[in-house]
Amino acid sequence: MTVQRCISVTPDDIVAFNLECKKCHATTKILSNDLRGLPHACRHCGDKWVLGERTDAHSEFFSALGQLTNALSVIRNDTGLVECLFSFELRSSDEIERDLA
């Protein structure tokens, strides 16, 4: 017999996004309902996250993050027209550790 543990997350559970610096591993928390002022560099060590001018990849990344935030807002503010609940299912920590090994 195999036991599998799953974690479900609803849009209301997502309150922030964390950005981790690849250089110093410090994290910056961005509230999911406020994506203004996204950092272009690590607030801890100053390592630049945007190389040179804003790149297409940078714009696409933050555009996608903004779209995800907008989608979460729409789902949270559902007016009752949709009669289902939406949730994400996350991998368990065991699965993540297996993938990293």
- Rounded average pLDDT over 24-49: 81
- What pLDDT is recorded for position 55? 58
Rounded Cα–Cα distance for residues 8 and 86 (Å): 10
The answer to whether the CB of 26 falls within 8 A of the CB of 42 is: yes
Mean pLDDT calculated for residue range 56-71:
74
Check whether 20 has a pLDDT greater than 80: yes
Domain segments of the chain as ranges: 7-100
Which of 31-35, 53-57, 96-100 has the least mean pLDDT? 53-57
Highest mean pLDDT among 19-28, 53-62, 78-87: 19-28
